[in-house]
Amino acid sequence: MPFTLGPVTEITLTFEDRDLNKAHATFCLEIADTVTILDIIGYATGLLAKVAPLTECNILDSSVHMTLKQTDAWALPPESAEVQRKGSFSFLTAAGTTGALEIPGLVNTLVVDRSNTIDISNAAITDFTNYIVNGPIGFGNGFVTGAGIQYTQFRSARKIHRSSSKG
């Protein structure tokens, strides 16, 4: 009996900082049942490309009902890398609600000096938020909440601190 993919697929990225602290960020994507595992691997790879410029942490792996190990070699994260320092990105949904996604180990230069405000004019931030709304296919095919509700518009971004698991 062949497998079919459900309407919402979760892609989870695992982050690790210099002190071996780990954090996870989960992104939900509504997909058609004709999508293959190779397509999902491509979507996860695309998401990795959009998130990597936003974090100083290593992204260890991605899981999509199976684990896709990150194969690129990387250097030890810089001393400033902390998975507890996160970028919190707020999006409006098709239901008129808001949803937030967090990126651990936010790069310090993406934050406006003397504030917790993320510079949303930065190209890496714009690239990431557009990818969340528009997805790998185009508007209306972007990422969704855990309940399967489409993110329709980027709302705001700020730096926060949240605890993460110790390595």
Mean pLDDT, the chain, whole residue set: 87
The pLDDT, as a whole number, for residue 6 is 59
Using CA atoms, how far apart are residues 32 and 116, in angstroms rounded to an integer? Answer: 38
pLDDT above 60 for 5: no
The pLDDT, as a whole number, for residue 67 is 46
* pTM, full prediction: 0.69
155 or 6, which is more confident: 155
Count of alpha carbons within 13 angstroms of residue 16, beta-carbon side: 13
In this structure, are residues 15 and 25 in contact, taking their beta carbons and an 8 Å threshold?
A: yes
The pLDDT, as a whole number, for residue 66 is 53
**What confidence tens digit (pLDDT) does each residue in 49-94 have?**
999 999 999 999 998 865 445 666 678 888 888 999 999 999 999 9
The pLDDT, as a whole number, for residue 79 is 86
* Cα 80 off chain centre by: 20
120 or 73, which is more confident: 120
The pLDDT, as a whole number, for residue 78 is 87
Confidence class for position 24, pLDDT limits 50, 70, 90: very high
- Tokens 């994260």 sit on residue: 77
DSSP string covering 150-166: BEEEEEEEEEEE---B-
The pLDDT, as a whole number, for residue 69 is 56
pLDDT above 90 for 27: yes
Strands 58-63 and 67-69, how do they pair?
antiparallel
The pLDDT, as a whole number, for residue 1 is 31
Of 105, 164, 144, 122, the C-alpha closest to 26 is: 144
Q: Averaged over 106-135, what is the pLDDT?
A: 94
**What confidence tens digit (pLDDT) does each residue in 135-166 have?**
887 776 789 998 889 999 999 999 998 776 76
Of 74, 71, 79, the C-alpha closest to 18 is: 79
